[in-house]
């Protein structure tokens, strides 16, 4: 295994060193948005810069989540050939900023008024030590439910708004011989569900203390045990073939009428739209019951690497273009996410997008916008992965809820 990893890293290093330096007046952008829709949305940004006489060198590295892209980036920086801008998530931005590798965008941010339009919870990752170091592109929220409207209508099920109503709805679907919950047995998917369940069970103060502050008493509390108990209930409504299923295949089960509900982030909407389904007619989108006033999120951002004492004119232009309301709208309509700034008009968004934008603005204003534990925006990867292990072991029946609580406390303590 070690030799295979070594060969893989070496291959990435060769790839990185073979890429030519961007020409003066160009921007080189490293990202992992390689699907047709995402590439088309990025083209809006490319065309905006070309109108300003700025060329675009595209450096796509396939692989959802960006793990391979980060490997390529490390090789590029090590060889002294950092890209102009790099798509990044959460604590990856903070890590590069700590190394002093990122450009100071304060002048651009001040001129463009970013402080007034970007939610503070996002700025936690966009800024480091008081300096803007990244331009956020979007906000994905994770505490959504996707439902097959025909199944609910057929069974006379109203959109559930509480935990008890959700349990009753899942039971009615199961009694009708259908799968109640479409789920993929992968650690990040288990954690995505747990994210919503924990927020619904304990509320925002509990979520903050447990998953962001890592308070041992809260992690080991009776409320946490109740969250695990609720996960066990959800497990009883998942079909037997869930292990290893990709999230989009779970979405397809809801789309095709094989299952009633999926608990997944708003990237799932793209699967429904690509299948020709319309929100409100074929499927429903709503917040996980009990989290109607909260939003848990992750956010794609572009970090700009230092190319001198101050950002180059091209970097400043790129940052402005990324944050322009036109691009934020065009990209997020395709991506399924919502803009990273709260002043973008919602005219081009569908019903789910409009609701997402409204929810984001309200949660930001009320202090109920939280970085998602499941998606690496509550704590660094080491702690996230430690939580993953416990959540998945419990979901698979290896721990009862009481044991899971104890294991969670221990795992987080060891990971810090």
Tens digit of pLDDT at every position of the chain (416 positions): 434 334 333 333 434 333 334 455 799 999 998 877 788 888 889 998 999 999 999 999 987 668 789 999 999 999 999 999 999 999 999 999 999 999 999 999 999 999 999 999 999 999 999 999 999 999 999 999 999 999 999 999 999 999 999 999 999 999 999 999 999 999 999 999 999 999 999 999 999 999 999 999 999 999 999 999 999 999 999 999 999 999 999 999 999 999 999 999 999 998 998 899 999 999 999 999 999 999 999 999 999 999 888 999 999 999 999 999 999 999 899 888 999 999 999 999 999 999 999 999 999 999 999 999 999 999 998 999 999 999 999 999 999 999 999 999 999 999 99
CA separation for the pair 363, 293 (Å, rounded): 7
- CATH annotation of 144-296+373-415: 3.40.190.10
C-alpha to C-alpha distance for 395 and 182, rounded to whole angstroms: 14
Q: What is the pLDDT of residue 9?
A: 37
pTM comes to 0.87
7, with CB counted inside 10 A (0-12, 13-18, 19+), is exposed
Strands 127-128 and 259-263: unpaired
- Listing from the earlier edge strand, what are the strands of the sheet with 26-31? 55-60, 26-31, 85-89, 300-304, 134-136
Instruction: Report the alpha-carbon distance of residue 174 to residue 171 in Å, rounded.
Output: 5
Which regions of the chain carry the CATH code 3.40.190.10? 2-141+298-366, 144-296+373-415
Instruction: In whole angstroms, give the CA distance from residue 22 to residue 57.
Output: 7
Residue 24: predicted pLDDT: 55
Closest Cα to residue 146, out of 241, 242, 236, 280? 280
The reported pLDDT for the residue numbered 313 is 93
Residue 366 and residue 164 in contact, taking contact as beta carbons nearer than 8 Å? no
pLDDT score at 203: 98
**Whole-angstrom distance, CA of residue 287 vs CA of residue 144:** 5
* Structure tokens that stand for 251 in this block: 């979405």
- To which CATH superfamily is domain 2-141+298-366 assigned? Periplasmic binding protein-like II (3.40.190.10)
Q: Which residues contact 219 (CB under 8 A, 6 or more apart)?
A: 210, 405, 408, 409, 412
Q: Strands 134-136 and 300-304, how do they pair?
A: antiparallel
For the chain, the first-to-last Cα distance in angstroms comes to 27
Q: Which two tokens stand for residue 99?
A: 């190394």
Report the pLDDT value the prediction gives residue 20, as an integer from 0 to 100.
38
Percentages of the chain per state (helix, strand, coil), in multiples of 5: 55, 15, 30
What pLDDT, on the 0 to 100 scale, is given for residue 43? 87
Confirm if 121 and 294 have CB atoms less than 8 A apart: no
């Amino acid at each position: 295994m070690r030799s295979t990893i070594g060969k893989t890293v070496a291959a990435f290093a060769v790839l990185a060193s073979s890429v030519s330096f961007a020409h003066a007046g160009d921007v080189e952008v490293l990202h992992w948005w390689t699907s047709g829709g995402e590439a088309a949305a990025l083209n809006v940004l490319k065309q905006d810069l070309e109108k300003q006489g700025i060329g675009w060198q595209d450096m796509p590295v396939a692989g959802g989540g960006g793990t391979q892209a980060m490997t390529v980036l490390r090789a590029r920086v090590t060889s002294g050939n950092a890209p102009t801008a790099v798509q990044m998530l959460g604590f990856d931005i903070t890590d590069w900023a700590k190394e002093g590798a990122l450009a100071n965008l304060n002048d651009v941010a001040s001129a463009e008024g970013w402080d007034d339009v970007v939610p503070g919870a996002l700025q936690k990752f966009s800024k480091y030590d008081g300096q803007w170091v990244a331009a956020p592109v979007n906000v994905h929220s994770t505490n959504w439910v996707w439902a097959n409207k025909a199944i609910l209508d057929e069974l006379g099920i109203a959109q559930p708004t509480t935990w008890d109503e959700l349990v009753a709805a899942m039971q009615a679907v199961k009694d009708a011989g259908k799968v109640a919950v479409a789920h993929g047995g992968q650690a990040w998917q288990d954690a995505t569900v747990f994210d919503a369940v924990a927020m619904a069970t304990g509320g925002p103060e509990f979520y903050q203390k447990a998953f962001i502050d890592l308070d041992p008493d809260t992690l080991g509390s009776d409320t946490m045990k109740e969250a695990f108990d609720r996960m066990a209930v959800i497990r009883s409504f998942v079909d037997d073939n869930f292990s290893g299923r990709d999230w989009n295949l779970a979405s397809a089960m809801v789309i095709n009428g094989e299952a009633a509900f999926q608990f997944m982030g708003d990237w799932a909407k793209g699967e429904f739209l690509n299948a020709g389904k319309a929100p409100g007619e074929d499927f429903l989108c709503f917040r996980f019951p009990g989290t109607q006033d909260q939003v848990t999120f992750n956010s794609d951002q572009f970090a700009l690497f230092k190319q001198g004492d101050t950002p180059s004119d091209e970097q400043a232009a790129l940052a402005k273009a990324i944050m322009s309301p036109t691009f934020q709208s065009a990209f997020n309509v395709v991506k399924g996410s919502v803009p990273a700034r709260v002043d973008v008009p919602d005219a081009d968004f569908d019903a789910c997008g409009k609701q997402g934008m409204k929810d984001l603005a309200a949660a930001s204003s009320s202090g109920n916008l939280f970085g998602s534990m499941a998606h690496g925006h509550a704590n660094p990867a080491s702690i996230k992965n430690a939580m993953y292990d416990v959540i998945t072991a419990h979901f698979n029946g290896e721990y009862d809820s009481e044991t899971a609580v104890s294991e969670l406390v221990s795992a987080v303590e060891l990971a810090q």
